């Protein structure tokens, strides 16, 4: 059994290869060949947060299996999270409470021929690349082919991967980044322009970020929708990393709307939250409830497989929503990392017998 770190993954993983593997996966999902289950979240009280805000321990799992690569996987994160108000909006903040100010996120990769656990991977690098690649695939089918300018809302950990993904599928040359936190946009521009080979400028407000943009990326941790359909001009493509960014008008008024998946999270929360929720006037959900019916919209597998139409003219306003994770994405990208790392002799070997048993 091979243990692989984010540092191992960084040596073998490329955005182009990730997009290629995931595009094959979503074709399989569109045909019903690959399978997965929706995300499950468990919430209980936590003593690990020092934030003066509603906080929780959140155990999250997703799983999937893909015959193409003879692989199954479980992705799990064991997190302490807080939901503070920042800039007047409720946000979800992961807190680094593991020793050394670290986080706990793993992907367990199984061989479907033997049932053996063949690898345990840290999930950080895998997650960033897969989310960047998934939104890039959405843009490949929905954004104008000559899209060059990106309006980026947010400058967090996912933002760089989003730009790397878009640059693989469209001739991106300029990024206009906006964040409500003072100085973050400027810092992001300085840190990433040269590495990405893009012109990156800080925008003073949303209007400046959107000026002349072809693709809009919302990569925030907002838990309050802030992006209305009226901000999207004819021909623009909106690419959102999570469902609490776009306002209801985007789902109702834009020409094409595609979800990553129609599967929703199943949440199980302890009754011990009642006093905390009352204190903070807050109902504990990773995402607030919405009246949008996910079954009204196609998913990425249907788009890639040709079951629904992609962009057909330059004036359409399109929207790809990375609604929630799909367990099979971790099977596909986990296998991609595992195969490349095994070929390079990377990782730490652990005896298989520690993860198998004689009791059936």
Hey, where are the domains in the chain? 2-125+327-355, 127-264+291-321
Asked if pLDDT for residue 130 goes beyond 80, the answer is yes
* CATH class in words for 2-125+327-355: alpha beta
Helix (H, G, I), strand (E, B) or coil at 274: helix
Q: Can you tell me the distance from the alpha carbon of 218 to that of 162, in angstroms, rounded to the nearest whole number?
A: 10
Lowest mean pLDDT among 184-188, 212-216, 284-288: 284-288
Instruction: Give residue 223's pLDDT.
Output: 77
* Residues in CB range of 82: below 8 A, 6 or more apart: 49, 51, 53, 54, 55, 56, 92, 93, 95
**pLDDT score, position 357:** 95
Span 247-253, average pLDDT: 96
According to the model, what pLDDT value does residue 178 have? 97
Q: Is the pLDDT of residue 149 over 80?
A: yes
Residue 25 has pLDDT above 70, yes or no: yes
pLDDT computed for residue 84 by the predictor: 81
Confidence class for position 86, pLDDT limits 50, 70, 90: confident
Q: Global pTM? A: 0.92
Residue 221: pLDDT over 90: no
State how far the Cα of 114 lies from the Cα of 271, in Å rounded to an integer.
Answer: 41
Give per-residue pLDDT as tens, 315-346. 999 999 999 999 999 999 999 999 999 999 99
Looking at residue 284, its pLDDT comes to 61
% of the chain residues with pLDDT over 90 = 80
Residue 267 pLDDT > 60: yes
> pLDDT above 70 covers what percent of the chain?
96
Cα distance between residue 350 and residue 74, in whole Å: 19
pLDDT score recorded for residue 121: 98
CATH of domain 127-264+291-321: 3.40.50.720
Q: Tell me how far apart the alpha carbons of residues 316 and 314 are, in angstroms, rounded to a whole number.
A: 6
């Amino acid at each position: 059994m091979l243990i692989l770190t984010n540092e191992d993954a960084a040596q073998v993983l490329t955005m182009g290869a990730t997009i290629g593997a995931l595009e094959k996966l979503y074709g399989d999902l569109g045909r019903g060949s690959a399978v997965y289950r929706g995300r499950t979240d468990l919430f209980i009280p936590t003593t690990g947060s020092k934030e003066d805000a509603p906080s929780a321990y959140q155990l999250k799992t997703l799983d999937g299996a893909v015959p193409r690569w003879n692989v199954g996987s479980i992705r799990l994160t064991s997190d302490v999270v807080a939901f503070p108000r920042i800039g007047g909006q409720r946000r979800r903040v992961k807190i680094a409470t593991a020793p050394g100010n670290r986080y706990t996120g793993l992907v367990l990769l199984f061989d479907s021929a033997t049932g053996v656990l063949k690898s345990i991977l840290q999930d950080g690098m895998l997650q960033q690349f897969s989310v960047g690649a998934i939104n890039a695939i959405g843009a490949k089918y929905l954004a104008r082919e000559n899209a060059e300018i990106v309006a980026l809302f947010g400058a967090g950990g996912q933002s760089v991967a989003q730009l790397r993904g878009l640059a693989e599928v469209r001739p991106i040359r300029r990024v206009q980044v906006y964040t409500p936190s003072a100085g973050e946009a400027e810092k992001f521009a300085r840190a990433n322009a040269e590495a990405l080979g893009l012109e990156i400028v800080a925008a003073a407000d949303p209007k400046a970020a959107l000026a002349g943009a072809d693709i809009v990326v919302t990569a925030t941790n907002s838990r309050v929708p802030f992006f209305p359909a009226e901000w999207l001009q004819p021909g623009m493509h909106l690419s959102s990393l999570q469902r609490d960014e776009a306002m209801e008008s985007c789902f109702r008024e834009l020409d094409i709307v595609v979800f990553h998946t129609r599967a929703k999270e199943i949440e199980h929360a302890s009754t011990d939250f009642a006093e905390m929720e009352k204190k903070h006037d807050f109902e504990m959900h990773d995402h607030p409830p919405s009246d949008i019916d996910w079954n009204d919209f196609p998913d990425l597998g249907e788009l890639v497989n040709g079951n629904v139409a992609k962009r057909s003219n330059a004036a359409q306003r399109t929207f790809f929503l990375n609604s929630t994770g799909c367990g099979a994405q971790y099977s596909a990208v986990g296998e991609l990392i595992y195969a490349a790392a095994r070929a390079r002799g990377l990782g730490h070997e652990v005896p298989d017998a520690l993860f198998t048993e004689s009791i059936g």
